[in-house]
Amino acid sequence: MAPAEAQPDDILDSSLVDLNTFNQILEMDEPDDHEFSTSIVFGFFEQAQETFDSMDAALKEKDLETLSSLGHFLKGSSATIGLTKVRDGCEHIQRYGKLENIDGSPEPDEDLCLERLTEAISTVKKDYEEVETVLRKYYEQFD
């Protein structure tokens, strides 16, 4: 018999990951493997890296519209997995890119939005790295 599995609760910080949502994904795994959730989580890692690269490029181009839609895109998948902080960060990017404040009110100052975008992207990357580390650690136990 395999050693008792560490439960996600033991490893994952609920401020980083919404456990209800994440557990929904784990529940879809077959009893003896973690193939499904692994493919989802590691698929997300890839997607996040790609998206960050695109964001960097768009930021260089000062392409706010693209930044907004990239933010929206990653918001969807991070929300699906339950990565609360990343999801929130992506929402900020989505708003700033649309020339809005966090509350959705208009912010016509494009330079200010760019400045905020730069900051938000670096924050979201940091949050992402943090959660990637713990998730990788969580999956390491199954190797």
* Cβ atoms of 6 and 139 closer than 8 Å: no
User: Which x/- pattern over 83-122 shows residues binding other proteins (rule: CB under 8 A)?
Assistant: ----x----------xx----xxx-x--------------
- Min separation Cβ 134 and other proteins, Å: 18
Tell me which amino acid residue 42 is.
Answer: F
Judged by CB under 8 A, which of 5, 13, 61, 65 binds other proteins? 65
Positive or negative CA dihedral for 14, 16, 21, 26? negative
Tell me which amino acid residue 137 is.
Answer: K
Q: Helix (H, G, I), strand (E, B), or coil: what is residue 44?
A: helix
Answer yes or no whether residue 80 interacts with other proteins by CB under 8 A.
yes
Rg from Cα positions in the chain? 17
Residues that bind other proteins (CB under 8 A): 18, 20-21, 24-25, 27-28, 36, 39-40, 43-44, 47, 65, 69, 72-73, 75-77, 79-82, 87, 98-99, 104-106, 108
